[in-house]
Amino acid sequence: MEENRIRLDGGFHNDVFHIKNEGKVVRISDVRKTKKMVLQEIEWMNFLYEEGVAVSKPEMTLESEEERVRAYFEFIKGDHIDVTNLFHWNVKMFEQFGRILGRMHALSKKFKVDVIHRPVWTVENPDVFGIRGNLSPWIRENYDKTMHNLFPYEITPETFGLIHNDFHQGNLIINNEGTLTTIDFDECSYNWYAQDVAVVFYHAYWQHNSYNGYVDTFPQTFMSHLFAGYKEENLLHKDLIKQIPVFLKLREIFLYQLFRDKWDMNNMEDWQKYTLYELEEKIKNKIPYAGISDFSIYL
């Protein structure tokens, strides 16, 4: 089997391979993921697939590889989103992002489980990202204060449910017809829907500026079309819109800690040093991401 495996990008946590002769992807999860956790992810993906959402069809059978869980998915032919390619990166695509999120959030209201095995955000235990224990004191204080801004909101099916939790262009495959398939549900959690919306904007804005140059109209272009697509599939609740800046700040903290954990702090490239410095400054000074504190202006 080894000679048929081609390593794919598994992010920071997993080992992922394309098994060419079987048309499958095998993902070997990190040791944090139990079989019950992975199985519930697979059940969620299969539910979405059967409801017509374009996701990589999972196999329901799981295997063990030492202390890690091995899962299999359909291999999706196509390309990762290229923000410099106008066929990939345009207003119709941004609307498609929104429709996918809106559809998944609408279906989250219908997905029922007897026992939850995925991480769950609660007021008592809001650290659904599992990073608080590793944070240094100064950033933990910022993390707690930022998270506290979510406590007054009422948890309802219109604002909260099982979400992708890492939805951005890096986890989308585009085919020749311009249709998108969502992959990598490894971090799916019970959390606020605003998390998904914030993450897709965070990475779109970041990568667009990095590769295409800063354009001050990009947030208006991206968010107005994202919202338009979302509203075709689901109610865009006012609380979701209010929460987006909170989740953008939480994303900065999450990425700051992730990079510190995974990068070699003694041998960083200049871009890595700059990325950490920029994130630290924004977190310490409470600078709104992209300078936006109210996303209702894009409705």
Residue ranges of domains in the chain, CATH in brackets: 2-74 (3.30.200.20), 79-298 (3.90.1200.10)
* Cβ neighbours for 80, distance < 8 A, ≥ 6 positions apart: 169, 170, 172, 173, 174
pLDDT of residue 111: 97
Give the percent of the chain with pLDDT over 70.
Answer: 98
Q: Would you say residue 2 has pLDDT above 80?
A: no
Residue 280 has what pLDDT? 96
Whole-Å CA distances, 214 to 93, 121, 152, 297: 20, 34, 35, 20
**Three-state DSSP state, 172:** strand
pLDDT of res. 6: 80
Residue 188 has pLDDT above 80, yes or no: yes
> What pLDDT does 66 receive?
77
Residue the block writes with tokens 């990068």? 263
State pLDDT tens for residues 106-134: 999 999 999 999 999 999 999 999 999 99
Residue range 216-261, pLDDT digits in tens: 999 999 999 999 999 999 999 999 999 999 999 999 999 999 999 9
| pLDDT higher than threshold 70 for residue 46 | yes
Cα within 13 Å of Cα(183), Cβ side: 27
264 contacts: CB under 8 Å, gap ≥ 6: none
Q: Tell which residue, 253, 119, 157, has the closest CA to residue 198.
A: 253
Q: Closest Cα to residue 129, out of 114, 113, 150, 109?
A: 150
Query: What is the chain's mean pLDDT, rounded?
Result: 94
Name which residue leads in pLDDT, 146 or 9.
Answer: 146
Does pLDDT of 12 surpass 70? no
- Other Cβ atoms closer than 10 A to 85: 11
Mean pLDDT for 70-97 is 96
Q: Which two tokens stand for residue 233?
A: 């599939």
* pLDDT confidence tier of residue 1, bands split at 50, 70 and 90: very low
Per-residue pLDDT tens over the stretch 205-218? 999 999 999 889 99
pLDDT band for 11, please (50, 70, 90 cuts).
low
DSSP code string of 218-286: HHHHHHHHHHHHHHHHS---HHHHHHHHHHHHHHHHHHHHHHHHHS-TTS--HHHHHHHHHHHHHHHTT
Both structure tokens of 255: 């990425």
Going by C-alpha positions, the residue among 47, 74, 291 that lies closest to residue 173 is 74
Nearest residue to 179 (alpha-carbon basis) of 76, 26, 47: 76
- Span 71-93, average pLDDT: 96
The pLDDT value recorded for residue 294 is 97
Q: What are the φ and ψ backbone dihedral angles of 140, each rounded to 5 degrees?
A: -65, -40
Can you tell me which residue has the tokens 């200049």? Answer: 270
